[in-house]
């Protein structure tokens, strides 16, 4: 497998699963926040240059990475990524992580989320509603 994308709602465990998978497969892990945090040093979140840079960084990797898939905005990005990977003869594996709302809300307040962009239950609820997660 050449590219694994672990995706789901914020706090569902993408990074936890991707970290374990990276250890088991000796693949590199590219946490979604790496591309976002780096792009924020140059551009404002949500601007076209910010989005283009984040997308370029994600397309440049051949490993395991995490992703929050917002509908419908991220559909074309994910489709384009799959097409690019397969066009180069590589394989892609999408791993969708899900859990019930109570478990997700309990995880949002956990210590391993300190420093993450989304660390409140209210923020999670708004994000899920706004981006159809």
3-state DSSP of 24-64: HHCCCEECHHHHHHHHHCCCCCCCHHHHHHHHHHHHCCCCE
According to the model, what pLDDT value does residue 103 have? Answer: 85
Q: What is the pLDDT of residues 82-108, one digit of tens each?
A: 887 788 788 888 888 888 888 888 887
- Give pLDDT < 70 ranges for the chain: 1, 59-63, 109-119, 133
- Cβ-based neighbour number of residue 23 at 10 Å: 10
CATH number of the domain to which 49 belongs: 3.40.50.300
Nearest to 5 by CA among 110, 90, 88, 72: 90
Give dist(CA 14, CA 53) in Å, integer. 22
Domain that holds residue 114: 3-131
> Over the chain, what is the mean pLDDT?
80
Domain count, the chain: 1
CA distances from residue 117 to 45, 65, 106 in whole angstroms, order as listed: 12, 17, 16
């Amino acid at each position: 497998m050449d590219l694994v994308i672990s995706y789901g709602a914020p706090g569902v465990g993408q990074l936890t699963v991707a970290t374990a998978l990276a250890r088991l497969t000796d693949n590199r892990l590219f946490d979604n926040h790496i591309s976002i945090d780096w792009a924020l040093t140059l551009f404002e979140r949500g601007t076209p240059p910010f989005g283009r840079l984040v997308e370029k960084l994600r397309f440049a990797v051949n490993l395991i990475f995490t992703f929050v898939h917002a509908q419908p905005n991220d559909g074309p990005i994910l489709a384009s990524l799959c097409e690019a990977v397969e066009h180069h003869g590589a394989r892609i594996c999408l791993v969708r992580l899900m859990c019930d709302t109570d478990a997700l809300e309990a995880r949002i307040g956990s210590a391993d989320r300190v420093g993450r962009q989304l660390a409140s239950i209210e923020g999670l609820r708004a994000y899920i509603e706004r981006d159809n997660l």
